[in-house]
Chain A
Amino acid sequence: MAAIISDELADEAAPPRPHRKRRSYPVWRWIILALTCVYFLIPLYAALRFAGFASFGQVVHQTGFSDALILSLKLAVITTTATMALMVPTTIYVHLRLPGLRRLLESITILPIVIPPVVLIVGVLQVAPGYLKSTPYLLGLVYVILAMPFAYRSLDAGLRALELRTLVDAASSLGAGWLSTLWRVILPNLRTALLSATVLTVALVLGEFTMASLDLYQTFPVWIVAFDQTSGPVSTAASLLALFVTWLFLLLIVTVGSRRARRTGGAQVDLISVTRRDTVR
């Protein structure tokens, strides 16, 4: 079957790799980077020295460790699910139908960064109904508020990288209802953003101390602090462990995500920022 449209069109090359002129980094930039590394790495090293490698092995065996960790993980699941269920549709909806609200949404989701968790937990404990208060799940739901800034920024970055309107219109014209569009077109292209938002949320839950302790639940961070009385080194080892594991996870996701992006050619989404292909400086 001969083609109606032949492929012998003008020599359009496949999109060229952008040539980027390398600027030389001024010295002061290296100095700042070096100082920053020192500042961040030395305390970690100090803690490692203090804990001793032996402690890492002991962490898992301590009393209360597994209970606290499991509680934290449970909360993480609740919070992540609730956050995604709330933020994903809302962010997509606003990008699509109410772009004017984007700034308002951004301002609201920023609030939790600046609202004192101390104050929040006081308020929550006052008004929460009894049946909810007696379960740790209340905490999980309140954590959604804390997770919002990071989740939103992640999702927002992912959506910014897409030509959302055009893609949705195209899917529509081909007969897709909103569910199909969401599932087959939007979400697959948001995979990295979704994963990043998830990991950030989990990191938050696993590190949140203030509200959990005031709500009198022994989550993992609360356990770490309490355990500090018993054994400083082990407690420190536990914190470091949590830190590194989370970090590794995030790194993994971003790496896999960018590899995928290269395969499908999407704009590079690094956690909460987007680099288009033509960005030079």
Chain B
Amino acid sequence: MEATNISPATAAGVTGHAGSGGAPVNLQQVSRSFGAVRALRELSLEIAPGELVALLGPSGCGKTTALRILAGFETADSGTVTVDGKDVATVPAAKRDMGMVFQSYSLFPNMSALENVGFGLRMRKMSGAGRRRRGHELLELVGLSAQAAQFPHQLSGGQQQRVALARALAIEPRVLLLDEPLSALDAKVRLQLREQIRSLQQRLGITTVFVTHDQEEALSMADRVGVMKDGSLEQIAEPSELYTHPASAFVAEFVGTTNRVPGELTGGGQVSALGTVTGVQSGCDGVPPGAVDVLVRPENLRITAIAGGNGIVSHRTFLGSVSRISVLLSGDVTVQVDVPSATAAELVPGASVQVSLDGSPVQVAGRG
């Protein structure tokens, strides 16, 4: 995986400028409905030049709609979309200068890989020789020089997506849009392509919007991740921030693993659960005091093997340096607890254990 030996000159050669090939993108209060379904509710999103923002969410959350509105395939019912400071609402998709990579089947079956890559250049009236030269450059960039004359059906899924990427980059877009490009690929290919798309994007400095439903993908690739639900942006932040300080219960549960345990919320911003009292994270203000569900990550739980504890171990899964212990608590609640494997010797299925919070502030949500 030779991701590191690109000279700035090469990157410049591809984009035509040195490094900063991206334009700022701004969506303000964008709404879109399809009949009775509100796909986007006043979505506002600001993307800095050269940034890779991932839009993450379950199907139907509106992330693809937002992307398509950016690309120009859909029009917003209200709100503005600005690229590089200019409103693009009246600009048709063909003139928006955005490269797009689709989930699958987007390569033109009647053209070879090289011809596919050169298509956008042909639309820009570049000469045949120029197109071929540039096409070869880009295919080499994605490691497919040998496949230039092959047709899409002769290429594997991963190769096809790389050609699609080369094709999108050939036109030196201001913005790169990726609509779940890895979802249709094998797991192993997905992992490798992930890293390499990221390196490429960083080298070329193109503003990128990446839509996915795979949270691992989003967290590992993006500068910032926007979690969407039902047409709204629940939270947009750097991956680590999203993970440690989820703004809502939905985000907490969508990103990473989260346990739900019953607890009591007092009026004073304190919550008690599993026999421990701890503070409540900001962002949970809407939850009334009383019986609540406490959201806590596996690594924020303490577990000790002790007779007469509050739970019984049902499973132990070895994950390498960490082991994940499934514990059945009273009240038919199951929690996952992560412990260093070295200390997990006594935590065997059937063992009686005591599980408690480790004291860091937690999210709360209504009981349910």
Contacts and interface: CB of A to CB of B under 8 A. Distances in A.
A172 interface: yes
Interface stretch (B23-31, B103-111, B217-225): B103-111
Contacts of A33: none
A7 B144 contact: yes
A100 interface: no
B142 A3 contact: yes
B110 A6 contact: no
A174 B2 CA distance: 28
B203 A4 contact: yes
A278 interface: no
A156 B29 CA distance: 40
Interface in A36-66: none
Contacts, number: 145
B73 to A, nearest CB: 6
A267 to B, nearest CB: 9
A79 interface: no
Interface string B155-198: 11111001010011001000001000000001011001100110
B: interface residue count bin: 35 or more
Contact of B196 (A5, A163, A185, A188): A5
B106 A7 contact: no
Contacts of B109: 162, 189, 264-266
B263 to A, nearest CB: 45
Interface string B329-357: 00000000000000000000000000000
Nearest to B203: A4
A9 B3 CA distance: 13
A22 interface: no
A101 interface: no
Interface string B118-134: 01101110000000000
Contact of A5 (B124, B137, B177, B200): B200
A264 B1 contact: no
Given A4-B2, A4-B6, A9-B192, A173 B200 contact: no
Contacts of B94: 172-177
B100 interface: yes
A258 to B, nearest CB: 14
A175 B188 contact: no
Interface in A173-196: 173-177, 180, 184-185, 188-189
Contacts of B177: 173
Given A1-B10, A264-B109, A170 B186 contact: no
Given A9-B189, A9-B193, A170-B100, A175 B144 contact: no
Tell me which of A2, A166, A180 has the highest count of chain B C-beta atoms within 10 A of its own C-beta.
A2
B104 to A, nearest CB: 8
B102 A166 contact: yes
A123 to B, nearest CB: 41
A10 B188 contact: yes
Interface string A1-34: 1111111111011110000000000000000000
A2 B104 CA distance: 27
A184 B10 CA distance: 31
Given A1-B10, A3-B143, A172-B73, A166 B120 contact: no
B152 interface: yes
Contact of B153 (A10, A184, A189, A264): A264
B73 A169 contact: yes
B102 A170 contact: yes
A171 interface: yes
B199 interface: yes
Given A13-B156, A174-B171, A3 B71 contact: no
B151 A264 contact: yes
B261 interface: no
B291 interface: no
B123 A7 contact: no
Nearest to A4: B200
Given A166-B106, A174-B119, A180-B123, A265 B192 contact: no
B105 A163 contact: yes
The 8 closest A-B pairs by CB, nearest first: A265-B153, A174-B120, A12-B156, A175-B123, A3-B143, A173-B100, A7-B143, A10-B188
12 contacts: A2-B5, A7-B144, A9-B189, A12-B157, A14-B156, A166-B102, A166-B104, A170-B106, A170-B164, A173-B93, A184-B119, A265-B154
Given A174-B167, A266-B153, 9 more contacts: A5-B197, A15-B153, A162-B109, A166-B106, A169-B93, A173-B71, A173-B94, A175-B124, A176-B94
